Amino acid sequence: MLPGMDGIEVCRQIRAHGYIMPILMLTARDTLTDKVKGLDSGADDYLVKPFAIEELTARLRALARREGPSKTVELQVGELVLDTMTKRARRGAAEFDLTGKEYMLLETLMRHPGQVLSRDQIIEHVWNMDFESGSKLIEVYIHALRKKIDEGHDRKLIQTLRGLGYRISVDESAE
Mean pLDDT of the chain: 85
Q: What is the pLDDT of residue 75?
A: 87
Domains of the chain: which residue ranges?
A: 7-65, 74-168
pLDDT at 172 over 60: no
The CATH topology of domain 74-168 is Arc Repressor Mutant, subunit A (1.10.10)
| CATH number of 7-65, picked from 3.40.50.1970, 3.40.50.2300, 3.40.30.10, 3.10.129.10 | 3.40.50.2300
For 28-70, the pLDDT digits (tens) are 999 999 999 999 898 989 999 999 999 999 999 888 877 655 4
Q: How confident is the model at residue 174 (pLDDT cuts 50, 70, 90)?
A: very low
Please give the Cα distance from 100 to 167 (Å, whole number): 19
pLDDT at 20 over 80: no
Query: Comparing 7-65 with 74-168, is the CATH topology the same?
Result: no
Helix axes 7-16 and 32-40, enclosed angle (nearest 10)? 20
pLDDT at 98 over 70: yes
Count Cβ atoms below 10 Å from residue 38 Cβ, excluding itself: 23
Please give the Cα distance from 44 to 47 (Å, whole number): 10
pLDDT at 130 over 80: no
Report H helices in the chain. 7-16, 32-40, 53-65, 100-110, 119-122, 137-149
pTM of the shown model: 0.58
pLDDT at 132 over 70: no
